[in-house]
Amino acid sequence: MAKPARAPRKIVILTGAGISAESGIRTFRAEDGLWEEHRIEDVATPEGFEADPDLVLDFYNKRRAVSTGAQPNPAHIALAQLEADPRFEVLIVTQNVDDLHERGGARNVIHMHGSLYGAICHACKSRWPAPEIMRASDPCPECGQMATRPDIVWFGEIPYRMDEIWTALRAADLFVSIGTSGNVYPAAGFVQDAARAGVATLELNLDPSTGTSRFDECRHGPAATLVPEWVK
């Protein structure tokens, strides 16, 4: 009888802004970081949007333009190759709102903090692809109200598909965290969730993250070098 194929190794991969840094997309908490120019409260909270929708929409319009002009780097491409490898069952969970994982070839990405390329009506909750430039005066195509916002999960809002993520995390053989500082929850808690479930954990990051001591193994360096080396 043919030897049963090894069950695919289940890998859950969390990515953060650091995986897109070498594609020219700024991270949040470096010296030249996105939060250096803006207070988080002003641009990444529902209250900030309520107070000044034009400021917030301008912040995301600018980031959408940078993301659209960026190219996936070898780290995005290596993860897509791993995802396509039948020996593994890979789930990529990203905190990023750019589309570089998809443009790098990944097929099954969970954007837990939303996407620059989505728009929602906060009156009727309908969704549509975000225009290049989103304006507060844009009426909702569904209900006509001036209630459109970017499909972004702001602080104090519930990240997307959390139950699915936690289930996959606890059933994984390996949890890998790539390019995130480990400052934002619930993503920053995934390493503990994994460890509690007996899942092996690996950090691939430029510098030790806030949670680096919680990982079984850490490799530090630029993602575009580190990730292809790890995948091969």
CA distances from 98 to 62, 89, 177, 202, 213 (A): 12, 23, 17, 23, 28
Torsion of CA 172, 176, 182, 184, to 10 degrees: -50
- Considering Cα of 179, then 183, then 184, then 188, what sign does the dihedral take? positive
Q: Which is nearer to ligand BV8, 78 or 89 (CB)?
A: 78
Are 200 and 175 in contact, with CB atoms under 8 Å apart?
yes
Q: Is 72 in the site for ligand BV8 (CB under 6 A)?
A: no
CA distances from 118 to 60, 93, 97, 126, 127 (A): 11, 17, 10, 11, 7
Closest distance between ligand BV8 and the C-beta of residue 144, in Å?
27
Closest distance between ligand BV8 and the C-beta of residue 210, in Å?
8
Please list the active-site residues. 113
Judge whether 73 is annotated as a binding position: no
Judge whether 31 is annotated as a binding position: yes
Given 11, 12, 28, 49, the residue binding ligand BV8 (CB under 6 A)? 28
Binding mask 164-203 for ligand BV8 (x = CB under 6 A): ---------------xxx-xxxx-----------------
- In the complex, the residues that contact ligand BV8 under the rule CB under 6 A are 16-18, 21-22, 27-29, 33, 44, 95-97, 113, 152-159, 162, 179-181, 183-186, 205-207, 209, 222-223
